[in-house]
Chain A
């Protein structure tokens, strides 16, 4: 029979509650979290010599940070 140590059930319930709250955020707020996750992941990846992959989007505007090459119209 699997029983959890005291306090673990409370901790698990709190985590589940937090995950439900994250799921209920707006898409834009989730995008901002995603950008932060990508940067955290990059910091770890770069310690292994792997290249950065985070999207170069501004946190506030969610638009590209670097200048976009001029577009060629149709």
Chain B
């Protein structure tokens, strides 16, 4: 995986995106038990385009130049399918700002904090997101005060067996 992360770090260093952080199931892997997944979700803060639109085209172009061809909204980078997800709402923007720097095989990377992973899953709301919330709450030991603050700030309600965060 460090080869994939090295490419992400290179893209950020070249300004292809301003900041990235791992989310989704691979982000949850930092905090909870392994669960089968096949994608690496990478949240990105994109440079502002002329028309003010969010587009991943510059990322895909930069990856093509490096020999990685996008296919179906994914790019296989050093063996791992990567899906780039722009920070398109205040919750994601905040999550990226607060993301932790971690070391994976001696390569630095950034991962969303567990509290933001939980809130993003609550916001997305699919069945598998609800399962991820359960897993992270049970195994990841989130800071409940911080979690409640994020929920309140972004108008989210998190119902758990231990009560509601909103």
Residues of A in contact with B (beta carbons under 8 Å apart): 19-20, 22-23, 27-28, 30-31, 33-34, 37-38, 41, 53-57, 62-66, 68-72, 74
- Give the contact-size bracket for chain B: 20 to 34
Name B's interface SS: loop
Please, which residues of chain B bring their CB within 8 A of the CB of A70? 67
Q: Which of A27, A34, A69, A74 contacts B102 (CB 8 A)?
A: A27
By beta carbon, the residue of chain B nearest A69 is B67
Cα distance A31–B32 in the bound complex, in angstroms: 12
CB < 8 Å A-B pair total: 67
Cα distance A63–B122 in the bound complex, in angstroms: 33
Please, which residues of chain B bring their CB within 8 A of the CB of A37? 34-36
The answer to whether B1 has its CB under 8 Å from any CB of chain A is yes
Cα distance A64–B79 in the bound complex, in angstroms: 5
